[in-house]
Amino acid sequence: MRVEYSSNNSGGSWWLTDEQWLALEAAGWKVKWCKDDKHHNGAVRWLGALATSASLECETPGDAMRAFETITGLSVSDEGCGCCGAPHSFSWGEGESWGYASGEECLPYLFNAPRTTLREAYAATSKPK
């Protein structure tokens, strides 16, 4: 399956450096460079970023998320700022068989765990005081 990664300018800055985009490409991700995107009119950078999205062919969304974290050193479950949203989001599939996750929504895919609320997950792993 193809998993698409999208970067969000959360908190007023991009979370990936130029080096991290290049590392994703070197690891087999298909990076959509701003200079090649018709929406950016050939500009090398868009709001300072060399790229804002990439895709990876893999078995599961979790595989893409774990690969992203290993390559970039970033956490896909970061929530970002309250007004701008999560800095990282992932989408996959099509039609009725599609999915999307960003921020803490990525956790069940990272850990192959059933989807639950954060409160339920915390309660299942913590002892009351």
Q: Please give the structure tokens belonging to residue 86.
A: 């999560």
Per-residue pLDDT in tens (0 to 9) along the chain, 129 residues? 999 999 999 888 899 999 999 999 999 999 999 898 777 777 899 888 999 999 999 999 999 999 999 999 999 999 988 888 899 999 999 878 899 999 999 999 998 877 677 777 777 777 766
φ/ψ of residue 125, rounded to 5: -115, 0
How far apart are the C-alpha atoms of 99 and 62, rounded to whole Å? 12
DSSP state of 81: B
